[in-house]
Amino acid sequence: MQEKIIILDFGSQVTQLIARRVREQNIYCEIYPYNKLPEIDETVKGVILSGSPYSVRDEESPNPDLSIIPDGMPVLGICYGAQFLAHTNGGDVYQSDTREYGRANLSYVDNSNPLLKGIPSDSQVWMSHGDTINTPPAGATIICSTEDVKVAGYQFDGKDIFGVQFHPEVYHSKDGATMLKNFLVDVCKCSQDWTPDSFVDTTVADLKEQLGNDKVVLGLSGGVDSSVAAMLLHKAIGSNLYCIFVNNGLLRKNEFGAVLEQYKGLGLNVKGVDASSKFYEALADLSDPEKKRKAIGNAFIEVFDDESHLIEDVTWLAQGTIYPDVIESVSATGGPSATIKSHHNVGGLPDYMKLKIVEPLRSLFKDEVRRVGRAMGLDDELLGRHPFPGPGLAIRILGDVTAEKVRLLQEVDAIFINGLKDNGLYDDVWQAGAMLLPVKSVGVMGDERTYENAVALRAVESTDGMTADWVHLPYEFLAKVSNDIINKVVGVNRVVYDISSKPPATIEWE
């Protein structure tokens, strides 16, 4: 049985960061909303209580009954978590005179305490709280302090229950990773055996058991998630996995053939379906972005449905859903949010398909998916590929889409992307692409006046696509790419570079 740490989410913006830090120690963990604590069985080695935007003194603040955590189970409260443990156990939590945000240095550290083993006496920590613990809870001892915060950390005497008011999970807490490791390894006795290889082994074994001799259909997109999901399933059930890779006519230049070859080289049982004309027909005369997305989604469902009906007795649909899509996080504006984001790589399939869903990656973050892919021998080119939207170039062609516009944008995009690769810039960029603008502008080529298309280039840095900033690509590089595009792509006489961040702009233009 996989041992794990449970993280109870009280709504902090950095709860996912706690999970990342735990997993970086090769220890598996799961996040739950504070009021949905799962059953604590023998696989659970410890519980971490997150921070929160609430004050424990607020009436509507999270107030779970933690008595279901068995006696003797290690617990670490972080920020709100520490204040909650203090408040509910006879400690005093006050609104602090000075809100405590930002860097602070410890001024007292009890190095004999297991949580603080090896922590320098002036270690920098990151504070972010409006309340402060004035007196520690009954039967607890202060284990570290800063100049301003006497109860920076405490432990219940004789118990493995700790609280720290700073955030060890954030980068600015210089020794935060050591503190978490001390808790996880020395206190919780986690064995640090959750590695990409062990994930592959256990997941493949689980899939074998779950799927037996059943047939599974999976829509490949050329992206990292669907590819890694396919490889795991392939290892588990071999030729009972039927992959479908649809050419919607909106992919990058030559991408359909190249990716299809790559998949076949990996031994996948994959069928390439060229449905470009169906998608162009569905898009004809549509220029509203949402209508375009819908038309593409519907066309995809039709193609996928037709293809999966050709597979006899298929009973499962595999999806490349990953952990950020399934975490039910606590919203800052009250209660755990009722909605779990559900992201369907295949665009949401109609109920009548009646397929059961299997999602081998639903416990992994994106970079963990990459590491698992690498452990299974997928090459860096596939694993390092920039994200590419399902509706493809259609949402980078502003207004109506035609095959001719797609061809033109494919040429522009290929020059830009190959330029990034040739100049060693591709891996510094999270996502890049070109937009075909619905404007023509005047130019001059030789002695001729031209009146042609304008294109915009966009390159952003981001971690998850939720926020992004434009990349400061070298001027020399932009000059060269612009020149190449205008000289080589007939029909384009102007190139601009998008310098907007998200928010307020989005990454895609539609």
Q: Is 114 exposed, middle or buried (0-12, 13-18, 19+ CB in 10 A)?
A: middle
Of 30 and 508, the one with the shorter C-beta distance to ligand XMP is 508
Q: Nearest distance from residue 266's CB to ligand XMP, in Å? A: 22
Footprint of ligand XMP (CB under 6 A): 293, 387, 389-391, 431, 465, 502, 506-508
Catalytic residue among 29, 87, 100, 169: 169
234 belongs to the catalytic site: no
Contacts of 245 (CB under 8 A, 6+ apart): 219, 220, 221, 222, 256, 259, 260, 263, 270, 271, 272, 273
Catalytic residue among 167, 243, 386, 411: 167
74 SS3 class: coil
Minimum CB distance to ligand XMP smaller for 133 or for 393: 393
Contact between residue 357 and residue 214 where contact means Cβ atoms under 8 Å apart: no
First-to-last C-alpha distance (Å) of the chain? 46
- DSSP of 465-495, one letter per residue? SSSBEE----HHHHHHHHHHHHHHSTTEEEE
> In the annotation, is 79 catalytic?
yes
Q: Phi and psi dihedrals of 460, rounded to 5? A: -130, 155
The answer to whether residues 315 and 214 touch, using CB atoms and an 8 Å cutoff, is yes
Strands 75-78, 44-49: pairing kind: parallel
Q: Which of 29, 79, 144, 243 is catalytic?
A: 79
C-alpha torsion 141→145→151→153, nearest 10: -60
Angle between helices 196-211 and 366-375 (to 10 degrees): 90
Question: Is 510 tagged catalytic?
Answer: no
Which CB sits closer to ligand XMP, 48 or 296? 296
Rounded least distance, CB 416 to ligand XMP, Å:
15
**Phi and psi, residue 328, nearest 5°:** -95, 100
Nearer to ligand XMP by Cβ, of 106 and 250: the residue is: 250
Q: Measure the CA–CA gap between 299 and 278, rounded to whole angstroms.
A: 7
Closest to ligand XMP by CB, 176 or 433: 433
| Tokens 């909605």 found at | 339
Asked whether the bond before 438 is cis by omega within 30 degrees of 0, the reply is no
Least Å from the CB of residue 431 to ligand XMP: 5
Closest approach, Cβ 498 to ligand XMP, in A, equals 12
Which CB, 272 or 465, lies closer to ligand XMP? 465
Residue 434 pairs in a beta bridge with: 457
The minimum distance between CB 389 and ligand XMP, in angstroms, equals 3
In whole angstroms, the minimum distance from the beta carbon of 172 to ligand XMP comes to 27
Q: How many CB atoms lie within 10 A of CB 415?
A: 24
- In the complex with ligand XMP, the residue whose CB is nearer, 53 or 387, is 387
Minimum CB distance to ligand XMP, residue 104 (Å): 35
Active centre residues (catalytic):
79, 167, 169
